Structure 1
């Protein structure tokens, strides 16, 4: 899985991740594998949904945007898997349609 272009180097609240040469998501994806990375994304989305509006100095909207960011990446990993399956079938000579 590659990080989806729409989410790559996007950050809600600051620029402390976008300044890094290696993105934390890329490292986590490599270390955790597909299933572990998806679990990480789901867990962080839940974290931001649960704490929306409760963190000092942060609006609920910001937390919802952060949750949306994690969910967008999670959905992209499933889109990538569908595309990879289709491509593998095509290369094997099977009709993926």
Structure 2
């Protein structure tokens, strides 16, 4: 099930809002660790091409030096259950704050 997220991609590129790595389902915002890279990365999207190539796009890296990166699914070392990036912690704090109102 391919879902186009942007309209300005080449015709043979397809974006998906889910992926699977290490037997775990990944959705946007899921944090992972990448082999050979420092920091955590938050999943953004999976891109496939008609010729069979595929990669995953992430935002993250060392704290204070985050940027957009792309990796193949075999480079994922761990899919984390608990988010620890600043954005994930801010969302958790906001949810707790709203729950106590």
TM-score, structure 2 as length reference: 0.30
Higher-strand-fraction structure: 2
TM-score, structure 1 as length reference: 0.31
Larger radius of gyration: 1
Higher-helix-fraction structure: 1
Q: Greater relative contact order: 1 or 2 (C-alpha under 8 angstroms, separation 6 or more)?
A: 1
